Amino acid sequence: MSSPVFAGVEAGGTKFVCAVGTGPEDLIREVIPTTTSSETLGHVVRFLRAQARPLTAVGMASFGPVDLDPHSPTYGYIASTPKPGWSNVDLRGALHRELGLPVAFDTDVNAAALAESRWGAAQGLDNVLYLTVGTGIGGGALVNGAPLHGLTHPEMGHIFIPHDLQTDPFLGICPYHADCLEGLASGVAMERRWGVKAELLPADHPAWALEARYLARALANLVCTLSPRRIIMGGGVMHHLDLFPMIREHLREVLRDYVQAPQIVPPLLGDDAGVLGAMILAQRIVT
Amino acid sequence: MSSPVFAGVEAGGTKFVCAVGTGPEDLIREVIPTTTSSETLGHVVRFLRAQARPLTAVGMASFGPVDLDPHSPTYGYIASTPKPGWSNVDLRGALHRELGLPVAFDTDVNAAALAESRWGAAQGLDNVLYLTVGTGIGGGALVNGAPLHGLTHPEMGHIFIPHDLQTDPFLGICPYHADCLEGLASGVAMERRWGVKAELLPADHPAWALEARYLARALANLVCTLSPRRIIMGGGVMHHLDLFPMIREHLREVLRDYVQAPQIVPPLLGDDAGVLGAMILAQRIVT
């Protein structure tokens, strides 16, 4: 009997990544620029319909905020988002109606955590934290092998950390919370604070020490709350790999041996984590 | 066939609470003062051996830090604790060897979350946060119905929250982290800051507004990380019930409608949550 074929769709603010196959070794990929919701979703549906092999299920991993409550009338919708034309869009329903297939739905970061725990930097671990530090900051997690959500989904980018205005007078750029983690330490915050894009800051710029301190403070809170077995940190800002040893050192300092720090590692699946995680989501609803 | 009989033991720094029965309606309780480890555990063993009905399993819910990793050589031990004579004590092993029964083991706060979700203030909910604010601050959680732990167990009392030294120059009392949540907002911190025990502070004292602000900040972080469906707040400090509406209001303010705040309620099981949760732990390992 041939292996079942699954589709994964990672819905992002700039592109939708689609993949169809039986696993990472057998994948057909398509990248679709994010334009209007109807055009973009139409493109996704055409790609999935064009597949020669019949699909068993579809998994969707989306940017947020999204509604993950299967009992909610807006399950699978993007909620209000600053992205024009994408608020209250029924992402999951559009695919489900057009394709007539089961469609699993979760956040992009939870999907990335799933994929990294199956094929990537956290193989075989059931309690994993995935934090992406890019334009914004987002976190996903597996707890006992399942994506973490409850009343809504985690918004780890919006936790508060100590912010000493005397040493760092920057007020933060989060439109909701000013100096929450994302407001202080996202790629956009770095650019706004230093007047230059993060990737253009030289390795000896004080920006990196400050960034490592803020991220370590955030990790301390996340470790004390979730106790993950491993932390994967991805996203554009983390491409500056010097951050890893700096964050590890600060985290140990901040936790003070009272709480054990887990390993902190870069992702192994890179840009594919989201869409591979979406395929695992698809698998999970039919098995 | 008669219902299986389980034992629960809540191990606390001042007392051990034991209970034997089939559920909350059928319980024999015994409270044992915490003295030396051998004396206290000997007392627990004698009580459990003296039961007329045969026990199926024992659950133990302990103060911490404890080792919850079943693969660890110190599984079921209390780790280093400031309590004299209780560091590196093999709590679980002592009961297991003396009684020859399966012994489940978790933190007191995870057990309380379990009990409140079965019989208390979070009935039927699978994603629950239980925070106790007393001498210290501790948090337990259920995620998808199971107690939350990973590399170690959560230490939610030790998360960091913004602390403005200009409006609150108190430096915090945590011996590890100074002004972490427990360092700023535990019962001991309140007593040290205001020079009087929390329960003696009048209702119009500014202590309560400050306490509500700190606890709301902490809840904001916990909500953004765990997304619980309900939050139960217990412990001595929370006996000041005026805190509940103040915390709810601050939390909504802090989250700014970006993240939905769950209900925040007092426990229903009071002092019995820990030992009832321990009985559920016992049930869970044999069913």
CATH number at residue A212: 3.30.420.40
**Is A119 among the domain residues?**
no
**Tens digit of pLDDT for each residue in A128-160?**
999 999 999 999 999 999 999 999 999 999 999
| Residues A78-98: tens digit of each pLDDT | 988 878 899 999 999 999 999
Q: Is residue B107 part of a domain?
A: yes
In 3D space, the residue among B15, B46, B20 whose CA is nearest the CA of residue B32 turns out to be B15
Residues on A contacting B at a C-beta cutoff of 8 Å: 65, 127, 139, 143-144, 146, 148-163, 176-177, 179, 217, 220-222, 224-229, 254, 256-260, 262
Judge if B245 and B133 occupy the same domain. Answer: yes
Q: Is the pTM here over 0.90, yes or no? A: yes
User: Number of folded domains in chain B?
Assistant: 2
- Whole-angstrom Cα distance, residue B132 to residue A152? 23
Residue B119 lies in a domain: no
Contact state of B156 with A222 under an 8 Å Cβ cutoff: no
Mean pLDDT of chain A: 96
Best B107, B214, B226 member to test A by mutation, with max A CBs in 10 Å, is B226
Task: Note whether residue B118 is domain-resident.
Answer: no
Residue length, chain B? 287
Same domain, A155 and A92: no
Distance to chain A for B127, nearest Cα, Å: 6
Sequence-distant (6+) residues with CB within 8 A of B283 are B4, B6, B57, B59
**Pair A39, A85: CB distance under 8 Å:** no
Residue A117 placed within a domain: no
Co-location of A20 and A145 in the same domain: no
For residue A140 the two structure tokens come to: 């996903």
The chain B residue lying nearest A157, using CA atoms, is B224
| Closest residue in chain B to residue A80, using alpha carbons only | B258
Same domain, A186 and A226: yes
CB contact under 8 A, A152 and B225: no
- Residue A116 is assigned to a structural domain of this protein: no
* CB-CB neighbors (< 8 A) of A151 in chain B: 127, 227-229, 260, 262
Residues A18 and A104 reside in one and the same domain: yes
A177/chain B closest Cα distance in angstroms: 7
A227 in the same domain as A275: no
Per-residue confidence of chain B (287 residues) as pLDDT tens digits? 678 999 999 999 999 999 999 988 899 999 999 999 999 999 999 999 999 999 999 999 999 899 999 999 999 999 888 788 999 999 999 999 999 999 999 999 999 999 999 999 999 999 999 999 999 999 999 999 999 999 999 999 999 999 999 999 999 999 999 999 999 999 999 999 999 999 999 999 999 999 999 999 999 999 999 999 999 999 999 999 999 999 999 999 999 988 999 999 999 998 899 999 999 999 999 98
Task: Say if residues A230 and A122 touch (Cβ distance below 8 Å).
Answer: yes
In-domain check, residue A103: yes
- Domain range holding A134? 124-265
- Are A71 and A138 members of one domain? no
A177 and A138, same structural domain? yes
Say if residue A84 is in the same domain as residue A155: no
> So what's the pLDDT on residue B80?
82
Same-domain check for residues B30 and B139 = no
Q: Are residues B50 and B151 in the same domain?
A: no
**Among candidates B146, B221, B227 on the partner chain, residue whose Cβ is nearest the Cβ of A144:** B146
Amino acid code (one letter) for B173: I
Whether residues B107 and B128 fall in one domain: no
What b-and-e string marks burial along B177-215, b requiring 16 or more CB atoms within 10 Å of the CB? Answer: bebbbbbbbbbbbbbebbeeebeebeeeeebbebbbbbb
Q: Indicate which of B69, B131, B151, B214 best probes the interface with A, i.e. most A CBs within 10 Å of its own CB.
A: B151
Answer yes or no: do B144 and A139 touch at CB < 8 A. no
According to DSSP H, which parts of chain B are helical?
37-49, 91-99, 108-119, 181-185, 187-194, 206-226, 243-255, 273-286
The question of ipTM being above 0.90 is answered as yes
How confident is the model over A225-243, as a mean pLDDT?
Answer: 97
